[in-house]
Amino acid sequence: MTWNGVEFNLHSVIPWWGMIIYFLVIIGLLGYAWNKHILANFKTVDFVYMGLLSAILVIFNFFISPLIPKFTAVTSIFYYTTIGELFILFLVAALIGKAGSVMIMMFIYTVLSDIFHYGFGGEPFWIFYEITAYAALIDLYLLLRGKYMGTPYQRTFRAAATTVQTAQPAGKGKQLKEGVRKIRGLYFLDGAVVGFVVMIAYNFWYQGFWATFVEGYLYTPNYILFETATNGLGGIVAGIILAPLVYYIKKVIVGSM
């Protein structure tokens, strides 16, 4: 059975029920964040960043990266195109610093990719792949880092006395007040997390499930585990290398950090 080019082959390394559980966990966490008003409202400038960087990612992946081998023999343990994508995803997360921004950006990117390159075969499953393979995971990490993503700063919360001195039930006379502390080199951790998440997406999520489910490709568990481990390690290294660049770009664009 096929529909819109989709094979619906369930003989994948990651079982279909595992993917359903994963979807439910992601939806549950984001729903909790929405209910607690942790997901911030986006400003016009945020959508400008998303749209602009989505377009840049399309240009890089489909127009610039194919030219690189024509000028130089580029070899790497991980694909150089993914390094460019890692940099752009890290940058949009750092510039906006709001959970949900990476998912929206990847939705825009997928639509633009279908318009200019792929066509819409296999949709909407490729949108699900782009969003759940790494965009949602980066956004969940943004719930912890917030606007300080890509900087050596981390927000802390401490109890502060309220200005209202009326009688209140026990435990209600304090409120949380946000503070900031500097942790030297914290942005390297940001780079390592984003690098790992992005670099394992193709081997773990695509080859482990989506390539089989949508296109009918088959892979062995040992192959996927080996590729995921090596690319995950490479992603950590690449993210750490890119972290200072993202930090200084954010410092210039957003302001003093």
Per-residue pLDDT tens over the stretch 166-224: 444 544 545 556 678 888 889 999 999 999 999 999 999 999 999 999 988 999 999 99
d(CA 79, CA 103): 22
Give every CB contact of residue 22 below 8 A, 6+ residues apart in sequence: 132
Determine which of 61-70, 103-112, 128-137 has the lowest per-residue pLDDT on average: 61-70
Token pair, residue 53, equals 């960087």
Predicted TM-score of the model (pTM) = 0.85
For 158: left if phi > 0, alpha if psi spans -120 to 50, otherwise beta; the answer is beta
Per-residue model confidence as pLDDT tens digits over 116-142: 888 888 889 999 999 999 999 999 999
- pLDDT above 90 (res 105): yes
Token pair, residue 183, equals 């942790």
d(CA 89, CA 71): 26
Average pLDDT over residues 31-52: 83
- Give the residues across from 44 on adjacent strands: none
- pLDDT above 90 (res 14): yes
Angle at 62 between CA 60 and CA 64, to 5 degrees: 45
- pLDDT above 80 (res 162): no
CB 208 within 8 A of CB 13: yes
